[in-house]
Amino acid sequence: MPLGRLLFTWVALLVLLSLTIASSFLPIGEWRQVINFAIAIAKAALILWIFMKMRDEAALVQLAVIVAAVLLLVLGGLLAADYGLRGPSPYVSIDANTAAPHFP
């Protein structure tokens, strides 16, 4: 692999790092988290594709990486579904008063 490509990737990673730090100072609320996470994924993709040379690997090896990414998405999706959709259960109704001790 040409040295220039590695150096260019390194510069791109440092630029993305500067962007993510700078964006965290912008007054754009929750969008900062979205931008930060998107930049993190872009950096990880650059490292995987160029530094780890996954672009040159056999399909089997690439598949192992893709399976890991998909499983992490499944894990995150299940976590988000669990916490995101929690509400008061219609089946269980505990009155706080019945659990408290009574003193006649």
Partner 1 sequence: MTLARHEPFPDIARQREADRFGMVVFLASEAMLFGAVVMGLFALRTFEPAAFAATSQRLNLVAGSVNTAVLLTSSLLVAIGAEARASDRAALAKWMLAAAAALGLVFLVIKGSEYVQEYGEGLMPGVGPRQDFATPGARMFMDGYFIATGLHALHVTIGVVMLAGCAWRLRGDDPPSIVGVGNIGLYWHLVDIVWVFLFPILYLSR
Q: Per CB under 8 A, does 65 bind partner 1?
A: yes
| Strands in the chain per DSSP E | none
Phi-psi label, residue 90: left if phi above 0, alpha if psi -120 to 50, beta otherwise: alpha
Which CB sits closer to partner 1, 32 or 98? 32
Q: Per CB under 8 A, does 24 bind partner 1?
A: yes
Task: Report the C-alpha gap between 64 and 51 in whole angstroms.
Answer: 17
Contact 32, 24 (CB under 8 A): yes
Q: Per CB under 8 A, does 9 bind partner 1?
A: yes
Q: Per CB under 8 A, does 19 bind partner 1?
A: no
The residue among 25, 68, 22, 61 whose CA lies nearest residue 44 is 68
Interacting residues with partner 1 (CB under 8 A): 1, 3, 6-7, 9-10, 13-14, 17, 20-21, 24, 32-33, 36-37, 39-40, 43-44, 47-48, 50-53, 57-58, 60-61, 64-65, 67-68, 71-72, 75-76, 79, 83
